Structure 1
Amino acid sequence: MEFSHDDNYSLPLTKFESMLKTNNVLFFDSEEFENIIHHYLNQGKMTLAKKAIKLGLQQHPTSVNLRLFKVEIYVFEDKLVEADTLLSELYTIDPSNEEIYIQKANILSKKDEHQQAINVLKQALELTDDVIDLYSLIGMEHLFLDQYEEAKSFFMKCMEEDDADYSALYNIMYCFDYLEQNDQAIAYLNTFLDNNPYSEVAWHQLGIQYTTQKKNKKALAAFDFAIISDDTFVGAYLEKGKVLEKLKRYEDAIESYTHTLKLEDPTSFALLRIGYCYEKLERDDLAVHYYFKTVHEDPLLDKGWIAITKFYNKKNNFQKALYYINKAINIDSENVKYWKLYSQINVRLSLFEEAERGFKKTLELGNYELNTWITRGDLLIKLGEPQAAIFNFEQAAEFHPENAEIEYRLAGLYFSLNEIDKGTFHLKNGLNFNEDYTFIIDELFPEVISKAQVKSLLKTKL
């Protein structure tokens, strides 16, 4: 039983907390203690829950339910041996108490013994008529075992018992998605909606399934039905907006996104999408206005800063683009996307040293894409740092072996330093991997292409 400020059940809670402050020992019946403990557990107030359990057991030492709360605390604190020992004692006292089986299954699950947990939960099913929670727990254990078909069947049992159990419905959809059973998911939802035509969650999920199939008009209809069922359903308006964007109905998408701003506090996602739509409509002033509102709402959202930077980049206003990507980097200096954009903009501004620094940072953050290695290496060549370029390309070759673009660059670098053997080795590699990239030597190392050894190798191979 959950306490609220408006009902009589808040009285025992107030009395209990007053007792803790005054150290006066007051009497509570066992059910009142159970309600108090349940309240504190739901609130995440473990210290108070433990105090209530201790005092409860002092007044009601034989209460199985209060001792089960103690088991729950043990499990939460990973004291599984103590929990198991106490459960064994309780089983001898009350072997038909389904909560004992649930806690036993919880312990087994914590030990990654999920099949044993399922077996115990199925035993509990035979002891109670209140089966929904047990079906859900069994479904979750099957998910832990990656048994999605079995999990799905138990979540469906939950829905058969209570068609408003939307957590079960979401889990069913998760299973369908994982199994890539899109058509089956749509069939299930349509059958469900035949009996529950005003289920906004089911309509919403149906719309998502149609979106996956790229059936945008059907998806749009489903989201409209979700909104008819609940005109405050923010998720339906957002999904509807995304579909309208795909249909290039940008004005309608803006209307749908804007509606969410009236229903709850503005979300950075909605503001960003409105900005995108205005940009598509070539209403640049409104587009950039909403991009700025996005980063004001959520300064950590990289998509907002990237949208602003790319907006000015497209307008060839590289100084402004650089200004805003620098602001983004000051907020989050570990964001790879920011550093890539930073580097690209500096290249456009011919600030090659800054661009190289940006690509180096990108690599340090774990972005090992071939283009990053090559662009950085080419910048080092341009900056007259051949040894650093060689080191860069040799590292690149570890991540991208047998790559002709890397080998030709290494060949050109070594030949330019008159390290003929190494140059020959890499040029032969490049020719073996792909002869079509020999133009790299000519473009990046024009002084090398005239060397006798290079001419000879190219002539022999080509």
Structure 2
Amino acid sequence: MTNNQVKQLYSKGSELMSLGKLSEALNYFREAVEADPSCMEAHIELGFLLGTLEKYDEAVKIFDHALDIEDNFPCFFGKGLAHFFLEDYEKSLEAFLDAQEIGENEDLWYYLGNLHLSYSENCEGAINCFEIALSMDENYIEAWNDCGVAYSIMENDERALESFKEALNIDANYIPAIYNMGATLADMGRYEESLEYLDIILEIEPDNFKALFYKGNVLYFMEKEEESLKYFTKALKKDKNQPDLWNYVGYIQNSLGQNHEAIESFKEAINLRPDDENNYLSLGTVHMDLGDTEKASECFKKVLEIDPENEEAQFYMEKID
């Protein structure tokens, strides 16, 4: 196949990709690479398109093949992205650092920042990377949001709020920043303000699990237990595989005198996370409330198997004896 024919395949793939016909574009890029294994442009487009289609392992292979031909920034960066989404953070960092030796852009610094959060848990390093990305593109909304997340982890809530507000100045409907504003305000005890942001999300996405869950939390802290239970129940309809959620539901049911329902909720939490002592402790206290000391004792013994130093379980066991 001539160079001109290869170029036509590559160009057709680019055209189809611009039209959103990704699967068809993929076939043309594959043909171009097979026809001319040295066509760097086709390798790069194919690798990034595979990443877009979440075929990350295959994307890594394509970028590696291209890097055998020539070291270049796009291929190292694309390889780093693929490893990042595969959650292979060590290889991702290695590829990003190789890319950095050749060049940089705001996306590279953004993902390096995320690696600091995901891999090394270095919030200060993450913030530094996000700020460099923002110096290159002040409207990089994801960098503003994730910078706020890093500040939240560091318990610098005021700086976190500033970052989330910057994100919302760019796009007032950016859901991650709206949610993070609500969560941070709740952590600060500013519950009424928190609810304003969570309600914005629920107006846009009534079934948003995180917003339903967090609103339930906020209402619980505001001592509006019945209303809190309503939102936790809605959240359960979206995802029943969250042990913390079942635990919260159990607490509220117990406080409302719904002891038998609370038992079932705590059992669900235990099934999902059997090594969590708190779930057994909660279940034991409900059995105590019902006067079933035998079942309560079994729960507290389980707590002490997991954590022999648990003072609350020790207290209840002494009380039963």
TM-score normalised over the length of structure 1: 0.50
In structure 1, the partner of 2:259 is 321
Unaligned stretches of 5+ in structure 1? 1-28, 43-48, 50-62, 70-89, 383-443, 445-462
1:395-429: CA deviation from partner (whole Å, max 9, x where unpaired): xxxxxxxxxxxxxxxxxxxxxxxxxxxxxxxxxxx
In structure 2, the partner of 1:39 is 23
**Alpha-carbon distance in structure 2 between the residues aligned to 1:276 and 1:334:** 20
**Structure 1 residue 301, shift from structure 2 partner:** 2.9
Other structure's SS at 1:198 match = coil
Preserved CA contact (<8 Å) 1:274 1:287: yes
Other structure's SS at 2:173 match = coil
Does residue 249 in structure 1 map to residue 190 in structure 2? Answer: yes
Does residue 176 in structure 1 map to residue 98 in structure 2? Answer: no
Q: Residue 66 of structure 1: which of 31, 53, 57 is its match?
A: 31
Q: Residue 90 of structure 2: which of 122, 133, 146 is its match?
A: 146
**Structure 1 residue 226, shift from structure 2 partner:** 0.6
**Structure 1 residue 340, shift from structure 2 partner:** 4.3
Q: Report matched runs for 1:348-367 at 5 Å.
A: 348-358=289-299
Unaligned stretches of 5+ in structure 2? 1-7, 51-55
Q: 1:192 to 1:30 in 2, by over 3 A?
A: closer
In structure 2, the partner of 1:209 is 150
Q: Residue 38 of structure 2: which of 96, 107, 112 is its match?
A: 96
**Structure 1 residue 122, shift from structure 2 partner:** 3.3
In structure 1, the partner of 2:77 is 135
**Structure 1 residue 257, shift from structure 2 partner:** 1.1
Preserved CA contact (<8 Å) 1:152 1:175: no
In structure 2, the partner of 1:279 is 220
Q: 1:41 to 1:381 in 2, by over 3 A?
A: farther
Other structure's SS at 1:370 match = coil
In structure 1, the partner of 2:159 is 218
**Structure 1 residue 334, shift from structure 2 partner:** 4.8
TM-score normalised over the length of structure 2: 0.69
**Structure 1 residue 119, shift from structure 2 partner:** 7.3
Q: Give 1:238's aligned amino acid.
A: Y
In structure 1, the partner of 2:3 is none
In structure 2, the partner of 1:125 is 70
Other structure's SS at 1:146 match = helix
Does residue 291 in structure 1 map to residue 275 in structure 2? Answer: no
**Structure 1 residue 152, shift from structure 2 partner:** 3.9
Q: Give 1:153's aligned amino acid.
A: L
Preserved CA contact (<8 Å) 1:271 1:293: yes
Q: 1:265 to 1:322 in 2, by over 3 A?
A: same
In structure 1, the partner of 2:285 is 344
**Structure 1 residue 348, shift from structure 2 partner:** 3.3
Q: Report matched runs for 1:414-425 at 5 Å.
A: none
**Structure 1 residue 203, shift from structure 2 partner:** 0.7
**Alpha-carbon distance in structure 2 between the residues aligned to 1:139 and 1:330:** 37
Q: Residue 168 of structure 2: which of 227, 250, 256 is its match?
A: 227
Q: Residue 202 of structure 2: which of 254, 261, 267 is its match?
A: 261
Q: Give 1:171's aligned amino acid.
A: Y
**Structure 1 residue 263, shift from structure 2 partner:** 2.0
1:348-403: CA deviation from partner (whole Å, max 9, x where unpaired): 3330222345567x68xxx733268x959x96996xxxxxxxxxxxxxxxxxxxxx
Preserved CA contact (<8 Å) 2:148 2:164: yes
**Structure 1 residue 260, shift from structure 2 partner:** 0.9
1:231-269: CA deviation from partner (whole Å, max 9, x where unpaired): 121111111112112221111111111111122242232
**Alpha-carbon distance in structure 2 between the residues aligned to 1:379 and 1:282:** 30
In structure 1, the partner of 2:308 is 370
Preserved CA contact (<8 Å) 2:113 2:130: no
**Alpha-carbon distance in structure 2 between the residues aligned to 1:216 and 1:242:** 10
**Alpha-carbon distance in structure 1 between the residues aligned to 2:29 and 2:137:** 40
Instruction: Give the percent of matched residue pairs that are identical in Structure 1 and Structure 2.
Output: 16
**Structure 1 residue 228, shift from structure 2 partner:** 1.3
**Alpha-carbon distance in structure 2 between the residues aligned to 1:148 and 1:322:** 49
**Alpha-carbon distance in structure 1 between the residues aligned to 2:143 and 2:294:** 55
Other structure's SS at 2:218 match = helix
**Structure 1 residue 144, shift from structure 2 partner:** 4.7
**Alpha-carbon distance in structure 2 between the residues aligned to 1:31 and 1:66:** 8
Preserved CA contact (<8 Å) 2:179 2:211: yes
**Alpha-carbon distance in structure 2 between the residues aligned to 1:64 and 1:151:** 23
**Structure 1 residue 325, shift from structure 2 partner:** 3.1
**Alpha-carbon distance in structure 1 between the residues aligned to 2:39 and 2:211:** 49
**Alpha-carbon distance in structure 1 between the residues aligned to 2:203 and 2:271:** 34
- Find the structure with the greater CA-based Rg: 1
Other structure's SS at 1:174 match = helix
**Aligned-CA RMSD value:** 4.7
**Alpha-carbon distance in structure 1 between the residues aligned to 2:68 and 2:270:** 52
Preserved CA contact (<8 Å) 2:253 2:261: no
Q: 1:64 to 1:207 in 2, by over 3 A?
A: closer
**Alpha-carbon distance in structure 2 between the residues aligned to 1:358 and 1:347:** 10
Q: Give 1:136's aligned amino acid.
A: G
Other structure's SS at 1:240 match = helix
Q: 1:181 to 1:281 in 2, by over 3 A?
A: closer
